[in-house]
Structure 1
Amino acid sequence: MSQLRNIALTVQELEEGEFYWVLLEATDYVMDEVLPYLPIEAATDPHSTYANALVAGVAAIRKLFGKEGPFG
Structure 2
Amino acid sequence: MSSLRNIALTVHELEAGEFYWVLMEGTDYTIEDVLPYLPIESSSDPYGTYANALVAGMAAMRRMFGPGGPRE
Please state which band the TM-score falls in when normalised by the shorter chain.
Answer: over 0.9
Question: For the residues of structure 1 that align with 2:3 and 2:26, how far apart are their CA atoms?
Answer: 13
Q: Percent identity?
A: 69
Q: Which residue of 2 aligns with 1:37?
A: 37
Q: Helix, strand or coil for the counterpart of 2:57?
A: helix
How far the C-alpha of 1:2 sits from its partner, in A, is 1.0
Amino acid at match of 1:15: E
Q: Helix, strand or coil for the counterpart of 1:71?
A: coil
Q: TM-score, with normalisation over the residues of structure 2? A: 0.98
CA shift digits 1:2-46 (9 cap, x unpaired): 111000000000000000000000000011100000000000000
Instruction: List alignment gaps of at least 5 residues for structure 2.
Output: none
Runs (4+) of structure 1 exceeding 6 A deviation are none
Q: TM-score, with normalisation over the residues of structure 1? A: 0.98
Question: For the residues of structure 1 that align with 2:41 and 2:2, how far apart are their CA atoms?
Answer: 21
- Alignment map for 1:28-67 (pairs within 5 Å): 28-67=28-67
Question: Aligned residue pairs: how many?
Answer: 72
